[in-house]
Structure 1
Amino acid sequence: MSGVAGPGDNRTPVPARPTVVTADELERALRETLSRQAAAPLPCTVDPAGLAIRRATRTRRRRVVTGTALAGMATVLVSAGVVQLSPQATQPTPPTVVLGDPRGSSWTVPEPVPSPSGGSPRAALGPAGGAVDLVVDGTLYTAGNTNIPLGVADADRAQRVPDKGGWLVVGAPTVAGRALLSVHADGSTRVLLAGAEAIAVAPDGGQVAWRDGDRLSIAGIVGDKLVAVAGTTAPGAAVPVGFAGNSVLVRRDPARPGYALWHPAAGGLPTAGWRDVLAVHGALPDGRLVGLVSAGTPRRPCLALLDPNRALATIRSACGPTLSSDGLGGVSADGRWLLLNGRTGSSDVTGALLVDLATLGGTLVARPAGPTLAGAVCWTPAGTAWYADARGGLVPVRPDRVVAGERAAASPLTGVEPAGRPVIVTDPAP
């Protein structure tokens, strides 16, 4: 008889290995596998202690903001003597977002918050009415005759986004830092950035740079999101103040001269790249920057063209009028005019000066243009410069009239009683 079962044999051959695994054996194997995984070291790409400290700092800032807001609300209610309890649900409030740690994994994207007004009709704001967009006491008054509450007490700067993309508003400094808001024409707002020490937005609204702690960071703005974040260590008190193309214009100290360009694609901020520039007022269509340097005899602020491709080296400079280095001013879109503070001749009164940049290669020509600038300058597509003076009035400057010897006058706001000066919304770069 053969020992091998044939095709018709009903005997089952013995398996080469047992297929039955008891529960105890399965549990033992699982425990051994998990033990080996737990014993293996995991790579650590961030400093846990540093990350915890940064998160604690963000939490403390949020608590300060919340406490300040609640205290202000309580003061208003007690002063009015009336407390009204509403059964209706309150508007959802997005979380305050601090994006100062590009390596962190706890970023949250706040949901859009619809404005209570939804873009309600605006009050007439004097002769300047529909000429420019304004931010007055936390409300955006548009040239389209609507107003949008921003949800912030004060704004420091604001600019329009191209192609009817809304507005970007930088909040005034608070105990919790600055905030960057994206505002839409339908009245909705979104906080893109909060808790930063300083914020600078590119003229076209496509990029933002900020300082938080000891970090300088840059990100692209796409819709209501920050993308492609990069960062480097911030030396001393250095803060971002503007852009030159895709490079960030950095001031060494807000209280001292000294500027440099940070090229994020090339790495960190160069330690030896600082120039003794006093102020930068804008760019010409070809990318060269218009600023102030110390020159002449005796040394004084003089106008200069700066080369962003050679670490802000001075191309040429011109002296003449007494120019203010307060940093206020703006270059027209065509690169012909510069409006800034200063005085001419023997006058001891500082006011707005209109400088013909075509004369920068020789004798600088500057003409008195109006009262002293107190904020940003907005050059409209029609070639008129608008700004706010120290009393909160709006000043329109037309170069042709200034050349003819006519100084611009301020028009007071009507329809509102601002607690602070209005903020002129600048137009996007062409």
Structure 2
Amino acid sequence: MSVGSGDRDNQERAPSRSLNVGQNELEHAVREVLVRQAATPRVPAGDPATAIIRRANRIQRCRTAAGTSLAAMVVVLATAAAMQLSGERPPAGGTVVIGEPDLESTVTGAPTSPTTSPDTKTPFADVDLVLDATIATAQGRRIALVDTGRVERAHRLADNRGWLVIGPPSLAGRYLWAVAPDGTARVLLGGADEIVLDEEGQQVAWKQGTALAVARVVNKELITTVRAEAPAEAVPLRFVGGAVLVRLAPGRPGHVLWRLQPGQLDPGTDRVSTRIFGTLPDGRLVGEVTGESPGHTCVIVLNPAGLAPTGSKCGPELGGDGPGAVSPDGRWLLVNGRSGRQERVVLVDLRRLDPSVDPVPAGPAATGEVIWSAPGTAYYADAAGRLVRMDVDRVTAGRPADPLVIAGLPDGIRPVVVSGD
């Protein structure tokens, strides 16, 4: 446009800095502006690209959560189906630690209302009993078990802190529950091939596949695991002192004491012991070994180091199978054996181990564990589902134990005698 001679464009005065900017300086300034914009964390609210990205992220998170939930549902349904086929109830409100428990995390169940019966009734025995889904205590209380399946073995914790109960084998494996004094339970371990407890209820050993493991029970949680690799057919049987007695194969003689060393299980040298029944107060074991004649066995005392016989003195031949237990004072062995042609529970005097001393018939054959409640009294269940109380003085006087029929037990359910004080 035309400009008058006195006009100087739209600038009233000279610029404070030169407008002659070099190419390099201009490029540097542009780069600096772009870098600052890229480093700015806040994006304009109206940016459509940002809105699209955020929506895509939300959709992806929803799909991931849905997939995880579906996978968890499949695992739960598969476990429940296996337990249904095996006749077991899945533990409601509890998380099952299938085979490989994370012992640093707590496995808890949802709290439920107490089910302890306030009515005191006459106790069946001077030990606790599991009668189907109820614990009948030696004090006469009746406590309904909540959130457990069937129980095969049980151990009473000291100071009235409850019980540890073990379920029978099933397609989903064995379960270990911690049961509170009011009957509510939570799963400590699941999916194991075998589970055993020590006499104080402070340690648990289990086997799954080729993994043999031990953990301590502290505040009804499992901590500090020790693991070893063992043959697939090996089975933990009991705690002996600080070690775990392992049968190398169910169909062959031979045991070993695992002294909780990690790595590969040392199979030891014992290939003659067929059954181990318990320990004496001095730490030696009472077991059964194959005799010199094929098919014959006898009761003998074994050294815990290598499970070798402590001498050549061999006791009577039992000829039976199944459970047995040594009395707390180490005097007696109550075990299934042969009396004539009939299998019965017999009483063996461990101070008179001699083939010429015949065991004393004590009662019908035992099914399940034999539990000594005192040096002279033991309890067990027979095949008919009856509770048997064996008194040493009565039996040695020639009067075998009389079974007690417990009314109200469903057919096929036997009473479970609870171990522990």
Task: Please state which band the TM-score falls in when normalised by the shorter chain.
Answer: 0.7 to 0.9
Deviation at 1:150, TM superposition (A): 4.4
Deviation at 1:299, TM superposition (A): 4.6
Aligned to 2:116: 119
> What are the within-5 Å matches in structure 2 for residues 353-392 of structure 1?
353-360=346-353, 363-381=356-374, 383-392=376-385
Aligned to 2:77: 63
Equivalent in 326, 333, 336 of residue 331 of structure 1: 326
Distance across 1 between alignment mates of 2:396 and 2:183: 40
Deviations 1:142-176 (A, max 9, x none): 22322231433321211212333321111011111
Q: Are the structure 2 counterparts of residues 321 and 92 from structure 1 closer, same or farther at C-alpha, using a change threshold of 3 Å?
A: closer
Deviation at 1:63, TM superposition (A): 3.3
Deviation at 1:186, TM superposition (A): 2.4
Q: TM-score with structure 1 length normalisation?
A: 0.74
Deviation at 1:275, TM superposition (A): 3.1
Deviations 1:166-218 (A, max 9, x none): 21111011111000111121222121101111111112211111112321111
Distance across 2 between alignment mates of 1:415 and 1:122: 17
Q: Are the structure 2 counterparts of residues 271 and 331 from structure 1 closer, same or farther at C-alpha, using a change threshold of 3 Å?
A: closer
Deviation at 1:293, TM superposition (A): 0.6
3-state SS in 2 of match to 1:323: coil
Deviation at 1:296, TM superposition (A): 4.1
Q: Which range moved further: 248-257 or 312-321?
A: 312-321
Equivalent in 131, 136, 139 of residue 141 of structure 1: 136
The code of the aligned residue for 1:225 comes to E
Q: Are the structure 2 counterparts of residues 200 and 408 from structure 1 closer, same or farther at C-alpha, using a change threshold of 3 Å?
A: same
Q: Which range moved further: 333-342 or 317-326?
A: 317-326
Equivalent in 321, 333, 337 of residue 342 of structure 1: 337
Distance across 2 between alignment mates of 1:425 and 1:184: 15
Distance across 1 between alignment mates of 2:116 and 2:395: 36
Deviation at 1:252, TM superposition (A): 1.3
Is contact 2:327–2:375 with CA below 8 Å preserved after alignment? no
- Is residue 266 of structure 2 the alignment partner of residue 270 of structure 1? yes
Distance across 1 between alignment mates of 2:369 and 2:153: 7
The code of the aligned residue for 1:282 comes to G
Is contact 2:93–2:147 with CA below 8 Å preserved after alignment? no
Equivalent in 171, 175, 180 of residue 179 of structure 1: 175
Equivalent in 239, 243, 250 of residue 246 of structure 2: 250
3-state SS in 2 of match to 1:219: strand
Is contact 2:153–2:418 with CA below 8 Å preserved after alignment? yes
Is contact 2:331–2:349 with CA below 8 Å preserved after alignment? yes
**Unmatched tracts of structure 1, length 5 or more:** 1-20, 29-56, 77-90
3-state SS in 1 of match to 2:77: helix
The code of the aligned residue for 1:393 comes to R
Distance across 1 between alignment mates of 2:386 and 2:259: 39
Deviation at 1:288, TM superposition (A): 1.2
Equivalent in 215, 223, 228 of residue 219 of structure 1: 215
Distance across 1 between alignment mates of 2:135 and 2:273: 34
Aligned to 1:153: 149
Aligned to 1:95: 95
- Is residue 106 of structure 2 the alignment partner of residue 109 of structure 1? yes
- Is residue 394 of structure 2 the alignment partner of residue 421 of structure 1? no
The code of the aligned residue for 1:342 comes to G
Is contact 2:130–2:151 with CA below 8 Å preserved after alignment? yes
Distance across 2 between alignment mates of 1:205 and 1:391: 29
The code of the aligned residue for 1:227 comes to I
Q: Are the structure 2 counterparts of residues 306 and 24 from structure 1 closer, same or farther at C-alpha, using a change threshold of 3 Å?
A: farther
The code of the aligned residue for 2:310 comes to I
Q: Are the structure 2 counterparts of residues 114 and 24 from structure 1 closer, same or farther at C-alpha, using a change threshold of 3 Å?
A: same
Is contact 2:316–2:353 with CA below 8 Å preserved after alignment? no
Equivalent in 198, 201, 206 of residue 197 of structure 2: 201
Is contact 1:64–1:176 with CA below 8 Å preserved after alignment? no
Aligned to 2:44: none
Which stretches of structure 1, 4 residues or more, deviate above 6 A after TM superposition? Answer: 25-28, 57-61, 69-73, 122-125
Distance across 2 between alignment mates of 1:323 and 1:228: 41
Aligned length: 355
Distance across 1 between alignment mates of 2:77 and 2:247: 30
Deviations 1:224-255 (A, max 9, x none): 11111010112131121111111111111223
3-state SS in 2 of match to 1:253: coil
Equivalent in 208, 223, 228 of residue 232 of structure 1: 228
3-state SS in 1 of match to 2:264: coil
Q: Are the structure 2 counterparts of residues 321 and 234 from structure 1 closer, same or farther at C-alpha, using a change threshold of 3 Å?
A: closer
Distance across 1 between alignment mates of 2:119 and 2:405: 16
Distance across 1 between alignment mates of 2:211 and 2:34: 55
Q: Are the structure 2 counterparts of residues 353 and 70 from structure 1 closer, same or farther at C-alpha, using a change threshold of 3 Å?
A: closer
Distance across 2 between alignment mates of 1:71 and 1:265: 37
* Structure 1 vs Structure 2 CA RMSD: 3.2
Deviation at 1:362, TM superposition (A): 7.1
The code of the aligned residue for 1:96 comes to V
Is contact 1:113–1:188 with CA below 8 Å preserved after alignment? no
Q: Are the structure 2 counterparts of residues 255 and 70 from structure 1 closer, same or farther at C-alpha, using a change threshold of 3 Å?
A: closer
Q: Are the structure 2 counterparts of residues 303 and 60 from structure 1 closer, same or farther at C-alpha, using a change threshold of 3 Å?
A: farther
Distance across 2 between alignment mates of 1:385 and 1:203: 16
The code of the aligned residue for 2:306 comes to A
Q: Are the structure 2 counterparts of residues 271 and 398 from structure 1 closer, same or farther at C-alpha, using a change threshold of 3 Å?
A: closer
3-state SS in 2 of match to 1:334: coil
3-state SS in 1 of match to 2:79: helix
Q: Are the structure 2 counterparts of residues 96 and 319 from structure 1 closer, same or farther at C-alpha, using a change threshold of 3 Å?
A: same
Is contact 2:315–2:354 with CA below 8 Å preserved after alignment? no
Equivalent in 257, 269, 273 of residue 261 of structure 1: 257
Deviations 1:276-310 (A, max 9, x none): 211111111111111111114455121011111x1
Q: Which range moved further: 64-73 or 263-272?
A: 64-73
Structure with larger Rg: 2
3-state SS in 2 of match to 1:63: helix
Distance across 2 between alignment mates of 1:284 and 1:186: 35
